[in-house]
Amino acid sequence: MPRCHANGIEIEYDTFGSPADPAMLLVMGLGMQMTGWEPGLCTQLAAQGFHVIRFDNRDIGLSTHFDSAPLPDPFAVLAGDAGNVPYLLADMADDAAGLLSALGIERAHVVGVSMGGMIVQELLLRHPERLLTACSVMSTTGARNVGQPTPAAATVLVSPPAQNRQQAIDRGVEIWQVLQSPAYAQPESVLREQEAAFYDRSYHPAGSVRQLAAIIASPDRTPGLREVTVPTLVIHGEADPLIEISGGRATAAAIPDSVLRTYPGMGHDLPPELWDSFVDEIVANTKRAA
């Protein structure tokens, strides 16, 4: 896969479709590598006439790791001590904008899931001129009174790191069995294969901790989102245990003229059974671009 230098770091990325088509940048969530955007979904989007770009966020996958930085305590950050947080979501949004610049792309449609949706929101605030349209999927505004996890989801989110490959695969399966869509649950064999591929490509739990700290330490985006003029789509699962649906509703309520699409039985994942609908909704939103 190709790599480029942007915003002072190295970013691993790959693409689908023709560079002659309008760009669509896909931003992944907490602790997830770009391969969390499954090739089948990327190919479907590219088939609609887009140059689809997925990439590893900083501190995960094959992009630059920040292992020289302190390892924050998420509970301390939650209590207000952000002294050891090495970067914020704003810095990750600058990474995404820098990647576009490095690839010679002036403006793009941008889609982000979970933490990736938060990064998309930061792009709307910091780099609105770079976005043709935006889509925030199963995400939230940063306000503490919305989008909170269930106790079960909160527990798996802060589970200790695995010590070996088998333990990492087992733990990953346990996490997804809590987070995945109850109406579209994937077989354990599929989850196990997915987690093995993630581990073999790159296993970097410290990066996930620093990303979580960045989420917690970043300010509420609600006031800024009220000024957004970029056409925005908000997608959320009605059974999401990690970012409760109030987070998606708050996002849509904050952004003027945004479109909210919710899915019964959808949790905190992108089930293949819903890809056709996701693609239809995203493409419809791109047609709202000036």
According to the model, what pLDDT value does residue 240 have?
98
According to the model, what pLDDT value does residue 160 have?
85
According to the model, what pLDDT value does residue 264 have?
98
According to the model, what pLDDT value does residue 183 have?
98
**Band of residue 158 on the pLDDT scale cut at 50, 70, 90:** confident
The pTM assigned to this predicted structure is 0.97
According to the model, what pLDDT value does residue 157 have?
81
**Band of residue 176 on the pLDDT scale cut at 50, 70, 90:** very high
Question: Would you say residue 228 has pLDDT above 90?
Answer: yes
> Which own/partner pairs from 40-46 qualify as long-range (CB within 8 Å, at least 24 positions apart)?
40/272, 40/275, 41/270, 41/272, 41/275, 41/278, 41/279, 42/16, 43/16, 44/275, 44/276, 44/279, 45/16, 45/17, 45/279, 45/282, 46/16, 46/17, 46/18, 46/21
The rounded distance, in Å, linking the Cα atoms of 287 and 290 is: 8
Burial code of 9-45, b = ≥16 C-beta within 10 A, e = fewer? bebbbbbbbeeeebbbbbbbbbbbbbbbbeeebbebb
Provide the sign of the torsion angle of the four alpha carbons 114, 156, 63, 279, taken in this order. negative
According to the model, what pLDDT value does residue 1 have?
76
Mean pLDDT of the chain: 97
Q: Which CATH superfamily is domain 3-286 in?
A: Alpha/Beta hydrolase fold, catalytic domain (3.40.50.1820)
**Can you tell me the mean pLDDT for 77-94?**
96
According to the model, what pLDDT value does residue 60 have?
98
**What interhelical angle do 89-102 and 205-217 show, nearest 10?**
110
According to the model, what pLDDT value does residue 161 have?
86
According to the model, what pLDDT value does residue 213 have?
97
According to the model, what pLDDT value does residue 156 have?
86
The rounded distance, in Å, linking the Cα atoms of 282 and 52 is: 13
- Domain range list for the chain: 3-286
